[in-house]
Structure 1
Amino acid sequence: MLIDTSLDNFKIRFAEEKDVPLILEFIKELADYEKMLNEVVATDQILKESLFERKMAEVIIGEYDNKPVAFALFFHNFSTFLGRPGIYLEDLYVKPEMRGKGIGKIMLSFLAKLCVERKCGRLEWWCLDWNEPAIEFYKQMGAIPMDEWTVYRVCGDAIEKLAMKVSK
C-alpha cells in the first residue's frame, strides 16, 4: 500500500519480501557513501531471513514518480526508564540525486508518526561524526546529540568468547 506524503509524486510504503534485492542495493549505496562498503556482508538470503522470516526489523521504501529513491531500516528497542518501546533507526538513505527535495525529512516524519501510533517513547539513531550535512539536518529536525554516551560493541570472535562465559 502506497502512502501519500506532503511532497508531490513522493510516496512511502513498507517493504515486501520481493524488495530484498532493492534493500541490499540501498545498503551497499549507503555503505559506499560512508566509505564502509568492504564491511557489508549481508546477502539477499540473510536479509530475507532477518526481515521477513524472523521479522527482526522493518523497512520503508520512498518512491518518487514510482521509482525507489530512499529507504529506512528500523526496529523496536525498549526504554526501561520510560517503560515504553522506542524505534531505533539503523539506516536512512536518500539517493544523492534526490537530496534537497525534503525526502529525508518526510521519511523521518513518517517514522515519528509510527512512534506516536505505536506509543513509543522515542526515536533514535547514530550518526558518523564526520557526516556534517546529516548532523545539521538532524539538528534542524529537533534531534539532540547524546554526547555524554559512548557506544560499545561486541562482535565477531568477541561475541563467541563472551557467549562461552555463561556456563562452566
Structure 2
Amino acid sequence: MTLDTKLNNFTIRLAEESDVPLIMKFIKELASYEKMLNEVEATEEVLKESLFERKAAEVIIGEYENKPVAFALFFHNFSTFVGRPGIYLEDLYVKPEMRGKGMGKIMLSFLAKLAVERNCGRLEWVCLDWNESSIKFYKQMGAVPMDEWTVYRVHDQALDRLALKFKK
C-alpha cells in the first residue's frame, strides 16, 4: 500500500520484510547523525524477527520519485491515565539532502493521522537535548516538551541483574 501525499512525487508506504536491509541502513545513518553509531547493536536478522515475525514495531518508508529518503519506526504504548493506547515514535529520519522540503512534517502528520484512526490518546517521542533543529521542528508541529519527566533505562548487565532478582 503506497499513499500519495501533498508533496509532489513523495509517497509513504508501510515497510515490508524485503525492506529490512534498507531499514538497517536508515538506522545506521540516523545513528551516525546522532553521533551514536557505535551503539547500534541491531542486525538485519534481529530487525526481521522483531518487526515482521513478532510485530513489535512498525515502519513507514517515505519515497521521493520512487527512491527511499525517509523512515519512521513506531510502536504502541499505553497510557493508564488516558486509558487508551498511544503511538511512540522511536525514530524519524529524513536523509540530509532531502530535509527542508516538508517530508518530515508529512511523515509526522501521517503518524498523527494513524494515531487518530487507531483511537490513540497520544503521539510521543524523545529528542536529544542538543538537537536544536529537531526541537524547533517539533515545537512548530505543536509538540510540547515534557520537561518534568526524566527517561530511565535499565540495559545490558543491569537488566540481567534486575531480572535475576525476580526469583530470589
Structures share fold, TM-score greater than 0.5: yes
1:37 Cα shift?
0.2
1:15-54 mapped onto 2 (5 Å cutoff): 15-54=15-54
Asked if 1:124 is matched to 2:124, the reply is yes
The superposition leaves residues 82-112 of structure 1 with CA deviations (integer Å, 9 ceiling, x where unpaired) of 0000000000000000001000000000000
Match of 2:69? Answer: 69
The superposition leaves residues 54-94 of structure 1 with CA deviations (integer Å, 9 ceiling, x where unpaired) of 00000000000000000000000000000000000000000
Asked if 1:150 is matched to 2:150, the reply is yes
Q: Distance in 2 between matches of 1:151 and 1:54?
A: 25
1:60-139 mapped onto 2 (5 Å cutoff): 60-139=60-139
Which structure 2 residue ranges, 5 or more long, are not aligned? none
1:16 Cα shift?
0.2
Q: Distance in 2 between matches of 1:75 and 1:27?
A: 16
1:167 Cα shift?
1.0
Report % sequence identity: 80
Q: Distance in 2 between matches of 1:20 and 1:158?
A: 29
4+ long deviations beyond 2 Å:
none
Count of matched residue pairs? 168
Aligned Cα root-mean-square deviation (Å) = 0.4
Q: Distance in 2 between matches of 1:109 and 1:46?
A: 28
Q: Distance in 2 between matches of 1:166 and 1:146?
A: 32
The superposition leaves residues 36-68 of structure 1 with CA deviations (integer Å, 9 ceiling, x where unpaired) of 000001110000000000000000000000000
Query: Could you state the TM-score of these two structures normalised by the residue count of structure 2?
Result: 0.99
Which structure 1 residue ranges, 5 or more long, are not aligned? none
